[in-house]
Amino acid sequence: MKNVAVIGAGTMGNGIAHTFAQYDYKVQLIDISQESLDRGMATITKNLDRMVAKEKISEADKNQTLKNITTYTSLEEGVEYASLVVEAATENIDLKLKIFRDLEKFCPDDTILASNTSSISITQIAAVTTRPEMVIGMHFMNPVPIMKLVEIIKGYSTSDETYKTVEEISKKLNKVPVEVNDYPGFVANRILMPMINEAIETLYNGVAGVEEIDTVMKLGMAHPMGPLQLADFIGLDVCLSILNVMYDGFKNPKYAPCPLLVNMVMAGKMGIKSGEGFYEYAESRRAEKVAKMFK
């Protein structure tokens, strides 16, 4: 299983493509926009350059990694020979269902279809295909080349064979796979997002300021990054989407997004990627913050 198609060239997609290519998989990176593909490849190149500068990889390793990636704007062409597809598109259920319906048409019959979704039901995604036993969640953490965890989510019909194959692939990427059952938010976000939401509620209620809240959690709880800074890094729109999925799935008010989060997203304050969230980020500082994650 050496041909891997990655759908989406954004933050998660280019990180997933980088990781597979670094471990000598042949990667087909797919996006509807050539501009997005160019940005994704530029990001991969910059991150590889940092790794070379820190002597984590050689210049030859970097060149081989880049050589292992081919870009496509056509889904049909990109997945034609894929043994594994990892979908890393926007966290939108309608978009993901459309992609998996298309994958059903274009992929070989033995292709495993994985989603990098951080909250959406794998069972629901699998239901639009005729191969639900071969659909699975493969939830990487950001930044993908650095973070060790991969949540592997089994849908209702996911076969043991599919799980074992994806588990072994994760280990070959030097990741630590953890088996998780298919419930909204899985494990990581079911625990993380209510904490972030509560931090936003704490700010919304005037208990303390942004830096004060983050300082308490960093110094008092030994968190490497405060919850509001982490929300900016994840993307406030992504946090809102995940909370909405959990609220809809559990019908429990503890998952209801804070009004402040809703308003910030409506105002276009998405965090690092938009230049402003709970903190302000100049372009140079955005790049610097992302670069620090690769140290």
User: Which residue in the list 3, 18, 87, 139 is annotated as catalytic?
Assistant: 139
User: Which residue in the list 36, 47, 83, 118 is annotated as catalytic?
Assistant: 118
d(CA 62, CA 44): 10
- Three-state SS letters, the chain: CCEEEEECCCHHHHHHHHHHHHCCCEEEEECCCHHHHHHHHHHHHHHHHHHHHCCCCCHHHHHHHHHCEEEECCHHHHCCCCCEEEECCCCCHHHHHHHHHHHHHHCCCCCEEEECCCCCCHHHHHCCCCCHHHEEEEEECCCCCCCCEEEEEECCCCCHHHHHHHHHHHHHCCCEEEEEECCCCCCHHHHHHHHHHHHHHHHHCCCCCHHHHHHHHHHHHCCCCCHHHHHHHHCHHHHHHHHHHHHHHHCCHHHCCCHHHHHHHHCCCCEHHHCECCCECCHHHHHHHHHHCCC
Asked about 36 being catalytic, the answer comes back as: no
Asked about 205 being catalytic, the answer comes back as: no
Asked about 87 being catalytic, the answer comes back as: no
Asked about 83 being catalytic, the answer comes back as: no
Q: Are strands 135-140 and 149-154 parallel, antiparallel or unpaired?
A: antiparallel
User: Which residue in the list 151, 170, 197, 241 is annotated as catalytic?
Assistant: 151
**Among the listed residues 70, 30, 62, the one whose alpha carbon sits nearest the alpha carbon of residue 46:** 62
29 neighbors 17 (Cβ within 8 angstroms): yes
User: Which residue in the list 189, 197, 241, 274 is annotated as catalytic?
Assistant: 189
Which sequence positions are flagged as catalytic? 118, 139, 151, 189
